[in-house]
Amino acid sequence: QVHLVESGGGLVQPGGSLRLSCAASESTTRDDPMAWYRRAPGKQRELVAIINPRGVTNYADSVEGRFTISRDKVRNMLYLQMNSLKSDDTAVYYCNGGPGLAYWGPGTQVTVSS
C-alpha cells in the first residue's frame, strides 16, 4: 500500500508563494504518474497538475504559468511550487499517486488572503 502525506500549506497573502511537498512511502510510485488536486470551499475536487514517470507535465488552465509540479524519484517526493497566488487558489490540496493513481494523501490547507 502507498501512503502519501502532504506538507507546506498555510496562510499567504495574494501574490505570494508556497511550496507544497508530498512524501510517498513506497518506491513503486517512481513508475507511476503523480498529481496534485485541490478542493475549494463549495466546489468539486479538480486536477491542478500532473507529472508522468518521464517528467512530462500538464496543468489546469487556471494555474498554467504560475504553478510548477516536480518530483524527486530518489527521495519519493512530489512538489508543487505555487507563485503569484490568488484568493481563488484557496483550497485543500491533495497529493495523488501510486498504481492507477489510486492513492491519496489527507490534504493540506492553502489559504490566500490579505
pLDDT, one tens digit per residue, over 51-100 is: 999 999 999 999 999 999 999 988 999 999 999 999 999 999 999 998 88
- Give residue for cell 518521464: 54
Distance CA 42, CA 71 (A): 30
Distance CA 84, CA 95 (A): 21
Largest separation between any pair of C-alpha atoms in the chain: 41
Look at residue 29 and give its three-state secondary structure. Answer: helix
Q: Any idea what DSSP says for residue 30?
A: G
C-alpha cell at 64: 498554467
As a whole number, mean pLDDT of residues 31-39 equals: 94
* β-pairing verdict for 108-112 and 10-12: parallel
Dihedral sign, Cα of residue 52, residue 101, residue 103, residue 105:
positive
Highest mean pLDDT among 25-34, 76-85, 96-105: 76-85
